[in-house]
Chains A and B, each alone.
Chain A
Amino acid sequence: MTLEQSEYQRLVEIIIELSERYRGDPNAREAILSELRTLYKKIPIYPGIITMLLPKVVQPIEMDKLKEGEETVLVLKDGRMVSGKVAEISPTEIKLAECKQLDISRPAEKVSVRRGDVQEAKLVTRVVLEKEWPTLNFEEE
Chain B
Amino acid sequence: MPELKLKHGDVAMLEGQLSLEVKGGEVLISGGLHGKGSKVVIPRAKSVPLEVEEDALVTYTLGQDGKVEQLSERTIPREWDALISEIIQRRPKVILVMGNVDVGKSFFTTYLANTMLRHGLRAGAIDSDVGQSDIGPPTTMGLGIFERPVALLYEVPLSSAYFVGSMSPSEHMLEFVVGVKWLVEHGLKKADMAIVNTPGWIFGGPGRSLQLYTLETVDPDIVVALQREEELEHLLSSVPPARVRRLPVSAKVRSRSSAERASLRAMFLGKYFEDAGKLLLDLQKARLKRCYLHTGRPVDVGTLGAQAQVLHAEQMPEGVLVVTKRKMDENAIRELEARFGHVRTITQGSERNVIVGLTNDANELLGIGIIERIDYERGQMAVLTPVKNAGEVAAVQFGSMRIKPDGEEIGTVKQGTF
- The number of chain A residues touching the other chain, given as a range, is 10 to 19
Is B289 an interface position by the 8 A CB rule?
Answer: no
B415→A44 contact, CB < 8 A: yes
A4→B415 contact, CB < 8 A: no
A42→B411 contact, CB < 8 A: yes
Is B205 an interface position by the 8 A CB rule?
Answer: yes
Cβ proximity bits B160-177 to A, threshold 8 Å, 1 near / 0 not = 000000101011110000
In chain A between 45 and 79, which residues have their CB closer than 8 angstroms to a CB of chain B? 45-48
Is B414 an interface position by the 8 A CB rule?
Answer: yes
Report which of A10, A43, A48 forms a contact with B412, defined as CB distance below 8 A.
A43
Is B212 an interface position by the 8 A CB rule?
Answer: yes
Q: Which residues of B contact A3 (CB under 8 A)?
A: 205-206, 208-209, 212
Report which of B166, B205, B411 forms a contact with A4, defined as CB distance below 8 A.
B205
Cβ proximity bits B371-401 to A, threshold 8 Å, 1 near / 0 not = 0000000000000000000000000000010
Residue of A nearest to B208 (CB): A3
Q: Which residues of B contact A44 (CB under 8 A)?
A: 412-415
Q: Which residues of A contact B208 (CB under 8 A)?
A: 3
CA distance A43 to B325 in the complex (A): 24
B400→A45 contact, CB < 8 A: yes
Main SS of the interface on chain A?
loop
Q: A3-B212, A4-B209, A7-B170 are in contact. Are A45 and B413 (CB under 8 A)?
A: yes
Q: A3-B212, A5-B173 are in contact. Are A45 and B412 (CB under 8 A)?
A: yes
Is B204 an interface position by the 8 A CB rule?
Answer: yes
CA distance A9 to B206 in the complex (A): 11
Is A6 an interface position by the 8 A CB rule?
Answer: yes
In chain B between 207 and 227, which residues have their CB closer than 8 angstroms to a CB of chain A? 208-209, 212
B204→A42 contact, CB < 8 A: no
CA distance A25 to B56 in the complex (A): 72
Q: A45-B166, A46-B170, A47-B171 are in contact. Are A6 and B206 (CB under 8 A)?
A: yes
B168→A46 contact, CB < 8 A: yes
A45→B171 contact, CB < 8 A: yes
In chain B between 263 and 299, which residues have their CB closer than 8 angstroms to a CB of chain A? none
Cβ proximity bits A1-34 to B, threshold 8 Å, 1 near / 0 not = 0011111011000000000000000000000000
Chain B CB within 10 Å — which of A9, A42, A45, A48 has the most? A45
B204→A45 contact, CB < 8 A: no
Q: Which residues of B contact A6 (CB under 8 A)?
A: 170-171, 173, 206
Report which of B170, B205, B212 forms a contact with A45, defined as CB distance below 8 A.
B170
Which residues on A are within 8 Å of B, measured CB to CB?
3-7, 9-10, 40, 42-48
Q: List, sorted by A's number, 18 A–B pairs whose CB atoms are closer than 8 Å.
A: A3-B206, A3-B209, A3-B212, A4-B204, A4-B206, A5-B206, A6-B171, A7-B170, A40-B414, A42-B412, A44-B412, A44-B414, A45-B168, A45-B170, A45-B415, A47-B170, A48-B204, A48-B206
